[in-house]
Amino acid sequence: MNICFVIDSMKCGGMQRVASTLVNGWVRAGHAVTLLTFDSTERDFFDLEPGVARIGLQLEGQSANTLQKGQRLFSRLTALRRHFNTLQPDVVVSFGEKTNFTVILSALGSGIPVVISERTDPRRHRQSFAWRLGRFWLYRLADFVVLQTSGVRDWAASFLNVKKLRVVGNPVDLQHARASMREQRANQIVGVGRLSREKGFDLLIEAFARADRADWQLVIVGDGPERASLEALAGKLGIQDRTRFAGAVKDPFQILGAAKVFVLPSRYEGFPNALLEAMASGCCVVSFDCDSGPSDLINQGINGVLVEPGSASALARSLGTVTAKPNKLQALMSSASPSVAGYATDKILEEWTTVLVEAAA
């Protein structure tokens, strides 16, 4: 099968990690894959198989006014249409709301099947009225819409034909995760993600300070616009000597496999890669029970702990409990990895490929 995959960029991010896993898997399975982004290839964070045809359109950047926005959109539409005509793919796959719009418009009248995917929770990730109206009409033109959770599928079913909807979770490299596990783990609480408001790292820092576990360290993996303010918050709360900002890393399993506890403090999620990776790595996971994602993975008290969303005090209590009870901690760690076997890379690739074959047919 000839697959064209379109995403805004391949910089560091959960959506990009999934994209790299999928295109690499399809190439290894013998499919022809072209990966298109609106930026250049110089900022790519993730490694790609040599067989992936990588094209950077170099059409990134911000627009100062409506005219420039229109010009940039026109440039993207014409560039994508030109590549679609040249490549003649059996199917086009698009990740991300705004990229989905552009891909659908670019493919109009071409006869090329289009599969789009929402990569966050659109019920919480607010866009302007114009974008929401555009989504209402344009998503109807896609052949299939792939969602990450059943909750978001129910939202999409309110305005789309359910026959177009598919739910596919994210993949995780179970073999690599388990190979990275350490027999002796550190008293570390780890958070992984983009350092932006929706990821809630301010709540994690506050909860860690309230939990008052002097023999534990907080490790925050990732980068983003709030890093400086988060570092300042750790200093203000007097925990800077027990808080480490590790920055963006390609292989989070090396950190997760050596830690005892992972926390997902997000205000909202689509399908949290970091939580899935932490469970695969055998961490005891504690997560806010936000609308989409965590409850799809965590069975309360069996393979993890779900906490009242947005409450730093509730999170602090849960952290205090699991870190103070070694037997409970070990039980949660032992049950985490086996519970996510259904998200193994091969299985998720098979589910995605089934959607693409159905669209191409």
Cα separation, 309 vs 270, whole angstroms: 15
CATH number (domain holding residue 118): 3.40.50.2000
319 Cβ neighbours under 8 A, 6+ residues apart: 189, 207, 208, 211, 213, 261, 263, 286
Question: In this structure, are 115 and 233 located in the same domain?
Answer: no
Q: What is the pLDDT of residues 199-234, one digit of tens each?
A: 999 999 999 999 988 999 999 999 999 999 999 999
- Top pLDDT among 82 and 126 is at 82
Question: In this structure, are 205 and 320 located in the same domain?
Answer: yes
Assign 345 a pLDDT band (cuts: 50, 70, 90). Answer: very high
Range of the domain at 25: 2-171+344-360
Confidence (pLDDT) at 85 = 96
Question: In this structure, are 324 and 243 located in the same domain?
Answer: yes
Question: In this structure, are 55 and 186 located in the same domain?
Answer: no
pTM: 0.90
Q: In the predicted model, is pLDDT for residue 259 greater than 90?
A: yes
Mean pLDDT of 296-320: 96
Q: Among 331, 245, 240, 318, which Cα is nearest to 283's?
A: 331
Mean pLDDT of 139-153: 94
Contact yes or no for 21/346 (Cβ under 8 A): no
Question: In this structure, are 37 and 127 located in the same domain?
Answer: yes
Q: What is the pLDDT of residues 94-112, one digit of tens each?
A: 999 889 999 999 999 999 9
Handedness of CA 118, 123, 129, 132 (dihedral sign): positive
Tell me which amino acid residue 288 is: F
> Helix H segments across the chain?
14-28, 66-87, 97-107, 129-138, 150-156, 174-179, 201-211, 227-236, 253-256, 273-280, 294-297, 312-324, 326-336, 345-360
Q: What is the pLDDT of residues 14-68, one digit of tens each?
A: 999 999 999 999 999 999 999 999 999 988 999 999 999 999 999 876 666 777 7
What is the number of structural domains in the chain?
A: 2
Question: In this structure, are 329 and 181 located in the same domain?
Answer: yes
